[in-house]
Amino acid sequence: MKFIEPHGHMVSRTTDDYTKLALSGCMAVCEPAFWAGFDRATAAGFYDYFRQLTYVEPARALKFGLRHYCWLCINPKEADDPVFAREVMSLIPEFLKANNVLGIGEIGLNKNTRNELLIFEEHVQLALLHDLPILIHTPHLEDKRKGTRLMLDALANFPKLAREKVIIDHVEEHTIASVLDQGYWAGMTLYPDSKCSPNRAIDMVELYGKERIWMNSACDWGHSDPLAVPKCALEMRKREHSDEEIEKIIYHNPIHFLNQSPNFARDFPTLNPST
Ligand SMILES: [Zn+2]
Protein backbone atom coordinates (compact mmCIF):
# COMPACT_ATOMS: atom_id res chain seq x y z
CA MET A 1 0.00 0.00 0.00
CA LYS A 2 1.35 3.43 -0.96
CA PHE A 3 1.38 6.28 1.52
CA ILE A 4 2.89 9.71 2.11
CA GLU A 5 4.35 10.57 5.52
CA PRO A 6 3.23 14.21 5.54
CA HIS A 7 4.75 15.17 8.90
CA GLY A 8 7.92 13.41 10.04
CA HIS A 9 10.95 14.87 11.80
CA MET A 10 13.43 12.78 9.91
CA VAL A 11 16.57 14.56 11.13
CA SER A 12 15.88 12.75 14.43
CA ARG A 13 15.56 9.30 12.85
CA THR A 14 18.00 6.54 11.97
CA THR A 15 18.78 4.96 8.64
CA ASP A 16 16.80 1.90 9.83
CA ASP A 17 13.71 4.12 10.02
CA TYR A 18 14.22 5.22 6.41
CA THR A 19 14.56 1.59 5.35
CA LYS A 20 11.36 0.60 7.18
CA LEU A 21 9.43 3.51 5.66
CA ALA A 22 10.60 2.63 2.15
CA LEU A 23 9.74 -1.07 2.64
CA SER A 24 6.27 -0.15 3.95
CA GLY A 25 5.27 1.72 0.80
CA CYS A 26 6.19 5.27 1.76
CA MET A 27 6.56 7.41 -1.36
CA ALA A 28 7.70 10.67 0.24
CA VAL A 29 8.43 12.20 3.63
CA CYS A 30 7.62 15.82 4.49
CA GLU A 31 9.46 17.45 7.37
CA PRO A 32 8.20 20.60 9.11
CA ALA A 33 10.76 22.75 10.87
CA PHE A 34 10.35 22.28 14.60
CA TRP A 35 12.00 22.14 17.99
CA ALA A 36 15.03 19.87 17.92
CA GLY A 37 14.72 18.70 21.53
CA PHE A 38 16.66 21.72 22.80
CA ASP A 39 16.48 25.50 22.44
CA ARG A 40 18.95 26.79 19.88
CA ALA A 41 21.21 29.48 21.28
CA THR A 42 21.60 31.59 18.16
CA ALA A 43 19.93 32.34 14.83
CA ALA A 44 22.96 30.71 13.24
CA GLY A 45 21.76 27.45 14.79
CA PHE A 46 18.61 27.79 12.70
CA TYR A 47 20.62 28.68 9.62
CA ASP A 48 22.36 25.31 9.86
CA TYR A 49 19.05 23.56 10.63
CA PHE A 50 17.50 25.08 7.49
CA ARG A 51 20.54 23.90 5.49
CA GLN A 52 20.00 20.43 6.90
CA LEU A 53 16.29 20.46 5.96
CA THR A 54 16.79 21.80 2.45
CA TYR A 55 20.00 20.14 1.29
CA VAL A 56 21.34 17.46 3.66
CA GLU A 57 18.24 15.47 4.58
CA PRO A 58 16.87 15.20 1.00
CA ALA A 59 20.17 13.64 -0.08
CA ARG A 60 20.05 11.20 2.85
CA ALA A 61 16.46 10.22 2.08
CA LEU A 62 17.25 9.67 -1.57
CA LYS A 63 19.73 6.96 -0.62
CA PHE A 64 16.71 4.98 0.55
CA GLY A 65 14.67 5.78 -2.54
CA LEU A 66 12.52 8.34 -0.73
CA ARG A 67 11.72 11.90 -1.73
CA HIS A 68 12.11 14.39 1.12
CA TYR A 69 10.35 17.76 1.39
CA CYS A 70 10.35 20.35 4.16
CA TRP A 71 8.50 23.30 5.65
CA LEU A 72 10.33 26.30 7.12
CA CYS A 73 9.67 28.57 10.12
CA ILE A 74 10.74 29.22 13.69
CA ASN A 75 8.62 26.85 15.76
CA PRO A 76 6.39 28.26 18.56
CA LYS A 77 8.46 26.68 21.35
CA GLU A 78 11.38 28.95 20.41
CA ALA A 79 9.37 31.94 19.20
CA ASP A 80 8.45 33.71 22.43
CA ASP A 81 11.19 36.33 21.98
CA PRO A 82 10.03 38.40 18.98
CA VAL A 83 13.46 39.93 18.32
CA PHE A 84 15.08 36.50 18.14
CA ALA A 85 12.15 35.05 16.18
CA ARG A 86 12.33 37.81 13.57
CA GLU A 87 16.08 37.31 13.21
CA VAL A 88 15.42 33.64 12.39
CA MET A 89 12.52 34.50 10.08
CA SER A 90 14.76 36.87 8.12
CA LEU A 91 16.79 33.80 7.07
CA ILE A 92 13.82 31.99 5.53
CA PRO A 93 13.44 33.76 2.13
CA GLU A 94 16.92 32.65 1.06
CA PHE A 95 15.96 29.01 1.69
CA LEU A 96 12.62 29.23 -0.11
CA LYS A 97 14.67 28.86 -3.31
CA ALA A 98 15.48 25.24 -2.41
CA ASN A 99 13.53 22.80 -4.56
CA ASN A 100 12.15 20.70 -1.67
CA VAL A 101 10.42 23.50 0.30
CA LEU A 102 6.64 23.09 0.55
CA GLY A 103 5.60 26.11 2.57
CA ILE A 104 5.67 27.77 6.00
CA GLY A 105 5.41 25.46 9.02
CA GLU A 106 4.96 24.13 11.51
CA ILE A 107 3.99 27.46 12.97
CA GLY A 108 1.50 27.85 15.78
CA LEU A 109 1.25 28.22 19.51
CA ASN A 110 2.92 26.41 22.39
CA LYS A 111 1.92 28.18 25.61
CA ASN A 112 -0.61 30.46 23.91
CA THR A 113 1.37 33.64 24.71
CA ARG A 114 0.87 37.03 23.05
CA ASN A 115 4.36 36.91 21.58
CA GLU A 116 3.76 33.46 20.09
CA LEU A 117 0.55 34.73 18.51
CA LEU A 118 2.35 37.78 17.10
CA ILE A 119 5.01 35.64 15.46
CA PHE A 120 2.34 33.20 14.24
CA GLU A 121 0.62 36.09 12.43
CA GLU A 122 3.90 37.29 10.94
CA HIS A 123 4.51 33.79 9.55
CA VAL A 124 1.04 33.85 7.95
CA GLN A 125 2.02 37.16 6.29
CA LEU A 126 5.23 35.55 5.04
CA ALA A 127 3.29 32.65 3.52
CA LEU A 128 0.85 35.04 1.84
CA LEU A 129 3.74 37.10 0.48
CA HIS A 130 5.20 34.01 -1.20
CA ASP A 131 1.86 32.36 -1.99
CA LEU A 132 2.73 29.20 -0.06
CA PRO A 133 0.70 26.67 1.96
CA ILE A 134 0.82 26.75 5.76
CA LEU A 135 1.19 23.89 8.25
CA ILE A 136 0.04 24.68 11.78
CA HIS A 137 1.01 23.00 15.06
CA THR A 138 -1.56 23.06 17.86
CA PRO A 139 -0.57 22.99 21.54
CA HIS A 140 -0.73 19.94 23.73
CA LEU A 141 -3.37 18.75 26.19
CA GLU A 142 -5.22 21.45 28.11
CA ASP A 143 -3.87 24.26 25.89
CA LYS A 144 -5.09 22.67 22.65
CA ARG A 145 -8.68 23.85 22.52
CA LYS A 146 -7.84 27.41 23.55
CA GLY A 147 -4.81 27.56 21.24
CA THR A 148 -6.80 26.25 18.30
CA ARG A 149 -9.51 28.83 18.90
CA LEU A 150 -6.97 31.65 19.18
CA MET A 151 -5.38 30.67 15.88
CA LEU A 152 -8.68 30.21 14.05
CA ASP A 153 -9.68 33.69 15.23
CA ALA A 154 -6.33 35.11 14.08
CA LEU A 155 -6.57 33.39 10.67
CA ALA A 156 -10.06 34.85 10.17
CA ASN A 157 -8.41 38.28 10.13
CA PHE A 158 -6.59 37.43 6.88
CA PRO A 159 -9.30 37.81 4.22
CA LYS A 160 -6.89 36.91 1.40
CA LEU A 161 -5.94 33.59 2.99
CA ALA A 162 -7.11 30.55 1.00
CA ARG A 163 -8.27 28.19 3.75
CA GLU A 164 -7.76 25.11 1.58
CA LYS A 165 -4.03 25.93 1.64
CA VAL A 166 -3.84 25.69 5.45
CA ILE A 167 -3.60 22.46 7.45
CA ILE A 168 -4.09 22.48 11.20
CA ASP A 169 -2.26 19.51 12.62
CA HIS A 170 -2.54 17.42 15.81
CA VAL A 171 -6.34 17.80 15.90
CA GLU A 172 -8.21 15.74 18.46
CA GLU A 173 -11.86 15.03 19.17
CA HIS A 174 -12.45 18.44 20.75
CA THR A 175 -10.85 20.49 17.94
CA ILE A 176 -11.43 18.67 14.64
CA ALA A 177 -14.97 19.92 14.01
CA SER A 178 -14.10 23.61 14.32
CA VAL A 179 -11.13 23.18 11.95
CA LEU A 180 -13.09 21.36 9.24
CA ASP A 181 -16.21 23.52 9.64
CA GLN A 182 -14.16 26.63 8.87
CA GLY A 183 -12.77 25.17 5.65
CA TYR A 184 -9.26 24.18 6.74
CA TRP A 185 -7.54 20.81 6.42
CA ALA A 186 -7.04 18.75 9.59
CA GLY A 187 -4.05 16.56 10.43
CA MET A 188 -4.22 13.69 12.92
CA THR A 189 -0.96 12.76 14.62
CA LEU A 190 -0.60 9.12 15.64
CA TYR A 191 1.52 8.88 18.78
CA PRO A 192 2.12 5.91 21.09
CA ASP A 193 1.37 7.84 24.31
CA SER A 194 -0.30 11.16 23.59
CA LYS A 195 -2.06 13.04 20.80
CA CYS A 196 -4.08 10.41 18.91
CA SER A 197 -4.12 6.59 18.82
CA PRO A 198 -4.96 4.79 15.54
CA ASN A 199 -8.41 3.78 16.78
CA ARG A 200 -9.24 7.31 17.95
CA ALA A 201 -8.15 8.62 14.54
CA ILE A 202 -10.34 6.07 12.77
CA ASP A 203 -13.27 7.00 15.02
CA MET A 204 -12.83 10.61 13.88
CA VAL A 205 -12.69 9.55 10.22
CA GLU A 206 -15.95 7.66 10.71
CA LEU A 207 -17.55 10.65 12.42
CA TYR A 208 -16.26 13.50 10.28
CA GLY A 209 -15.61 11.87 6.89
CA LYS A 210 -12.58 11.48 4.68
CA GLU A 211 -12.35 14.91 3.11
CA ARG A 212 -9.57 17.38 4.01
CA ILE A 213 -7.96 14.95 6.47
CA TRP A 214 -4.51 13.38 6.62
CA MET A 215 -2.66 11.20 9.13
CA ASN A 216 0.97 11.43 10.18
CA SER A 217 3.36 9.92 12.71
CA ALA A 218 5.33 13.11 13.50
CA CYS A 219 8.22 10.67 14.22
CA ASP A 220 10.47 13.03 16.15
CA TRP A 221 13.26 12.75 18.73
CA GLY A 222 10.83 11.49 21.41
CA HIS A 223 8.81 8.31 21.77
CA SER A 224 7.12 7.96 18.38
CA ASP A 225 6.69 5.45 15.58
CA PRO A 226 7.61 6.22 11.96
CA LEU A 227 5.34 3.36 10.84
CA ALA A 228 2.27 4.71 12.63
CA VAL A 229 0.52 5.59 9.34
CA PRO A 230 0.73 2.12 7.70
CA LYS A 231 -0.15 0.52 11.06
CA CYS A 232 -3.26 2.71 11.22
CA ALA A 233 -4.06 1.65 7.66
CA LEU A 234 -4.07 -1.98 8.83
CA GLU A 235 -6.44 -1.06 11.66
CA MET A 236 -8.72 0.64 9.13
CA ARG A 237 -8.77 -2.53 7.08
CA LYS A 238 -9.74 -4.53 10.21
CA ARG A 239 -12.62 -2.10 10.69
CA GLU A 240 -13.74 -2.84 7.13
CA HIS A 241 -12.71 0.34 5.39
CA SER A 242 -12.04 -0.43 1.73
CA ASP A 243 -8.55 -0.23 0.23
CA GLU A 244 -9.73 2.73 -1.85
CA GLU A 245 -10.89 4.60 1.25
CA ILE A 246 -7.64 3.88 3.07
CA GLU A 247 -5.51 4.93 0.13
CA LYS A 248 -7.49 8.15 -0.16
CA ILE A 249 -6.58 9.15 3.39
CA ILE A 250 -2.96 8.06 3.52
CA TYR A 251 -1.93 8.77 -0.09
CA HIS A 252 -4.30 10.78 -2.26
CA ASN A 253 -5.37 13.30 0.38
CA PRO A 254 -1.81 14.35 1.28
CA ILE A 255 -0.96 14.61 -2.42
CA HIS A 256 -4.07 16.69 -3.02
CA PHE A 257 -3.11 19.17 -0.30
CA LEU A 258 0.62 19.18 -1.01
CA ASN A 259 0.13 19.66 -4.75
CA GLN A 260 -0.75 23.25 -3.86
CA SER A 261 2.99 23.63 -3.43
CA PRO A 262 4.81 23.86 -6.79
CA ASN A 263 7.77 21.77 -5.62
CA PHE A 264 5.52 18.85 -4.69
CA ALA A 265 3.34 19.08 -7.81
CA ARG A 266 6.47 18.85 -9.96
CA ASP A 267 7.22 15.36 -8.57
CA PHE A 268 3.63 14.05 -8.20
CA PRO A 269 2.00 15.50 -11.32
CA THR A 270 -0.37 12.64 -12.12
CA LEU A 271 -2.83 13.13 -9.30
CA ASN A 272 -6.48 13.47 -10.13
CA PRO A 273 -7.52 16.10 -7.52
CA SER A 274 -11.06 14.75 -7.40
CA THR A 275 -9.95 11.40 -5.93
ZN1 LIG B 1 5.97 18.22 14.22
pLDDT in tens, 130-165: 999 999 999 987 788 999 999 999 999 999 999 999
- The answer to whether residue 274 is domain-embedded is no
Task: Say if residue 274's pLDDT is above 90.
Answer: no
**Residue 187 backbone dihedrals phi, psi, to 5 degrees:** -105, 140
pLDDT tens-digit series, residues 219-229: 988 888 999 99
CA of 116 to the centre of ligand 1 (A): 16
- The answer to whether residue 275 is domain-embedded is no
- Residue 42's pLDDT band, with cuts at 50, 70 and 90, is very high
pLDDT tens-digit series, residues 112-139: 999 999 999 999 999 999 999 999 999 9
- Residue 275's pLDDT band, with cuts at 50, 70 and 90, is very low
- The answer to whether residue 14 is domain-embedded is yes
Check: CB of residue 263 under 8 Å from CB of residue 102: yes
CA of 238 to the centre of ligand 1 (A): 28
Query: Average pLDDT of 33-39?
Result: 93
The CATH number that applies at residue 173 is: 3.20.20.140
CA–CA–CA angle 65, 70, 73 (5° rounding)? 165
Domain that holds residue 241: 3-267
CA of 242 to the centre of ligand 1 (A): 29
Within 13 Å, how many C-alpha atoms sit on residue 4's CB side?
25
CA of 132 to the centre of ligand 1 (A): 18
Could you give the number of structural domains in the chain?
1
Q: Quick count: other Cβ atoms within 10 Å of Cβ 7?
A: 30
| Enclosing H/E stretch for 134 | strand 134-137
pLDDT at 221: 87
Q: Poorest-confidence range of 39-48, 178-187, 213-222?
A: 213-222
Task: Say if residue 249's pLDDT is above 80.
Answer: yes
- The answer to whether residue 97 is domain-embedded is yes
- The answer to whether residue 272 is domain-embedded is no
pLDDT tens-digit series, residues 43-85: 999 999 999 999 999 999 999 999 999 999 999 999 999 999 9
CA of 106 to the centre of ligand 1 (A): 7
The SS3 assignment for 131 reads coil
- The answer to whether residue 50 is domain-embedded is yes
- Residue 242's pLDDT band, with cuts at 50, 70 and 90, is very high
